[in-house]
Amino acid sequence: MLQHDNARPHVARICTQFLEAENIPVLAWPAYSPDMSPTEHVWDALHRRIRPRVPGPANIQQLLFFIYFFTLTSFRTNNI
């Protein structure tokens, strides 16, 4: 299942034809609704936790470590 924001590139004929050909279902979604998007909430939470770090991640490996660390911390905090 795919969720996108109905931006023009996402709903272009070539994209919709590809998704149909590959049998990928698309979630119906309003044109612009970041407040309803779980993905946007995740990005916002990561941004708020990683951005204030000094020094911030200097490379992809450090960024992935921060993402892993904060995700694990959140799951433990929320008993998930």
At 29-80, the pLDDT tens digits run 766 666 667 777 778 887 887 778 778 788 999 888 888 887 776 655 555 4
Torsion region of 50: left, alpha or beta (phi above 0 gives left; psi -120 to 50 gives alpha): alpha
Q: Please check whether residues 6 and 44 belong to one and the same domain.
A: no
Q: Which pLDDT belongs to residue 46?
A: 79
Q: Please check whether residues 28 and 41 belong to one and the same domain.
A: no
Rounded to two decimals, what is the model's pTM?
A: 0.41
Q: Please check whether residues 68 and 42 belong to one and the same domain.
A: yes
Tell me if residue 19 falls in helix, strand or coil.
Answer: helix
Q: What is the per-residue pLDDT across 12-26, written as a single tens digit (0 to 9) for each?
A: 899 889 999 999 998
Q: Please check whether residues 25 and 48 belong to one and the same domain.
A: no
Domains identified in the chain, total number = 2
Q: Please check whether residues 55 and 19 belong to one and the same domain.
A: no
Q: Please check whether residues 43 and 78 belong to one and the same domain.
A: yes
Per-residue buried b or exposed e for 45-54, using 16+ beta carbons within 10 Å of the residue's own CB: ebeebbeeee
Structural domain boundaries, residue 15: 1-32
Q: How far is CA 5 from CA 16, 23, 48, 50, 52, in A?
A: 13, 19, 22, 25, 28
Q: Please check whether residues 52 and 75 belong to one and the same domain.
A: yes
